[in-house]
Structure 1
């Protein structure tokens, strides 16, 4: 991640990532089909609990 800035409301935008997007890029996860606003989809793609997915997204988007 050359520019150390997190984006909100999406996993990836123009080469910049949200918190989970950084992890997804590192793992090689295809993120274009993942709905960043659906905790079940995000949790399944990243193999984490839905509550954790929701909390990470909240912290990234609302508290960042």
Structure 2
């Protein structure tokens, strides 16, 4: 039942090894402020009125 523990250890080992090889450089950099995107206003389409067809009565 200790299979998950072994797996966890192996995963931890991987992360430790990666952190040794790849030092974090991002900590020195200042965080950039994200620019807010302006929302475009949607133009409302005008609905066309349907003309009623006059029924032709059979004479």
Question: TM-score per shorter chain, which class?
Answer: under 0.3
Question: Which structure has greater helix proportion?
Answer: 1
Could you state the TM-score of these two structures normalised by the residue count of structure 2? 0.24
Could you state the TM-score of these two structures normalised by the residue count of structure 1? 0.22
Question: Which structure has greater strand proportion?
Answer: 1
Larger radius of gyration: 2
